[in-house]
Structure 1
Amino acid sequence: MIRRRVVVRGTVQGVFFRASCQQEARRHRVSGWVSNRPDGSVEAVFEGDASAVEHLVEWCRTGPPRAVVESIQVTEEEPAGFSGFDEQ
């Protein structure tokens, strides 16, 4: 099990980024959360099987069809034992 925190910048709010991210995470059985930040970016924490988490990190590089991702920051963290995936 691994955990990654990502901050995605660009046109990522108001384009269903959070809802799409939540769907993708649940489809791949990844736990964690996703949230809009006041600065216009989206922050997410993914926790689970290494290949599934890395898939979600890669998904964030493009996001849903209406998103325009300009940059993504990825930080490795220690797993906390999340259960489920929430949109905050």
Structure 2
Amino acid sequence: MRTEDGSHRHYETRAVPVREDGHLVEWVGTASDIEDQWQGQRRRRLLDAAAATSGLTNVDDMLDALLHVIVPELADGCGFH
């Protein structure tokens, strides 16, 4: 969701219908800011994926493995020389 200052944050929304005599009267819902939770989960996913490279001893293999972790999550592309 875009905030008043123009930044974006992740929100979780939930809604339920309110019915009277079988007819939909309105929807009642909530929107909860989950940005901190979302960032924490993302950080854990990245660290867990990066930890999978710890058994690699060849630098080229390690960097290649890290590319597969970083690019899908953080960047459009990545390279090393």
The structure with the larger Rg is 2
- TM-score norm. by structure 1 comes to 0.24
1 or 2 for the larger relative contact order (CA 8 Å, sep ≥6)? 1
Q: Which has the higher helix share?
A: 2
